[in-house]
Amino acid sequence: MNKKTIRDVDVKGKKCLVRVDFNVPMKDGVITDENRINGALPTIKYLMDHGAKVILCSHLGKPHNIFTPNFKLNKKEKAALDALPEAERDAAKAEMVAKALKGDAKKFSLEPVAKRLNELLDGKVTFAHDIVGEDAQAKVAAMKDGEVVLLENTRFDAGEEGRDLEFCKKLAAFADIYVNDAFGTAHRSHASTAAIVEYGLVKTAVCGFLIEKELSVMADALEHPVHPFVAILGGAKVADKLNVINNLLDKCDTLIIGGGMVYTFLKAQGYSIGTSLLDEEGLALVPEILKKAEENNVQLLLPVDTVAADKFAEDAAYDCYDADRIPEDRMGLDIGPKTIELFTDALKTAKTIVWNGPMGVFEMAPFAVGTKAIAKCLADSDATTIIGGGDSAAAVQQFGYGDSMTHISTGGGASLEFLEGKELPGIAILDEK
């Protein structure tokens, strides 16, 4: 994918609308993890240093569309209303709306991010208290070259997810050049991720350094891997990963299956899985997958033993069992030692490794052993190691192996669709070199 980057265009004196991913965790208005902010800094600093006016936009969480009159309540709120006597619903709805207007404005505001950015960028960052309203317009109009304005949470306006044309027009008015540097949202076709370019409202669309790296590393690994190429997939449901599995079976030499979907594979082969997770929809898909692996001469590795517990809890009683003999009252929550040896042996000779999905419930210490062992194996490997975001990325960082990986994707959902071979809307709209 040979897309233009910010290096390929003259940004001096231009308004650059940059889609970033500042969907950072916060507690009581305090940012608890700055990785996504730090990840965006190289692109922001480059634009500042080259005389651009930098307008940043991002979502944060899943708030109500409080900038939109008569915004919709969420599913939980609607269910609560429906459960009330009809005579009480109007008052309850008014209370819910008032609570959302007050609570979301505080909980989901990007103002704490703006304050932190201002500290990191020598006091050159201004926060706009709306997205495309009077405050944003005034602050963008007052910008000097090399300054930054961060707009308020894009999801406060229903026009973001709804791709509203008028909202897009107002957002595009801030852009001589559109820059996408948010790979984590590139699979969404929202106003700020794709629509303003798709509608023809911005003529120049390029990527920042984060997306440039995602495309160069992941695309190259998938399209031109150095063999042996080993793919590792975890996750709960076979059906959710079917397209990924099919795409990888056309490219890799070995496919390792772990995580909750293992038990659907075992069940499809007639084995007892106890109370382990079962994907009923995926059950019928397993024979097709096994057949394709055989036809493509791909080694498909499944666990030979599993750690199974009496309940889904950290204090559960657990033991290790052969994968085809899980007791009826036990659920599989991790791969066993024989499987760890099997999987790591396959990984030791690999030259390209792509990993998406943990091996077990790594958030619970007793069931994190398998995921940690795979992470360590990749960290010790001289292969190109690509971690596909989401839980895999979280696990690698948790175990302290992040710095040893070639690349950790910044987008869980986006990287998964990328592995499927899908065209991502936020990438498709970028200019070709």
User: Do 335 and 232 touch, CB atoms closer than 8 A?
Assistant: no
237 is catalytic: yes
Write out the two tokens for 279. 């994907």
19 is catalytic: no
Q: Pick the catalytic residue from 14, 36, 163, 188.
A: 36
Taking CA atoms, 320 is separated from 261, 304, 344, 346, 423, in Å, by 18, 11, 18, 22, 42
Q: Pick the catalytic residue from 274, 390, 412, 426.
A: 390
Tell me: cis bond preceding 337? Omega within 30 of 0 counts: no
SS3 276: coil
CA angle 209, 211, 214 (to 5 degrees): 110
Q: Pick the catalytic residue from 4, 115, 237, 338.
A: 237
Q: Pick the catalytic residue from 133, 162, 402, 413.
A: 413
Nearest to 358 by CA among 288, 249, 262: 262
Torsion of CA 405, 351, 373, 410, to 10 degrees: 30
What is the rounded CA–CA span in Å between residue 191 and residue 417?
20
15 is catalytic: no
What is the torsional sign of CA 363, 366, 368, 372?
Answer: positive
72 is catalytic: no
| Category of 283 on φ-ψ map: left (φ > 0), alpha (ψ -120 to 50) or beta | alpha
The residues annotated with a catalytic role in the active site are: 36, 237, 390, 413
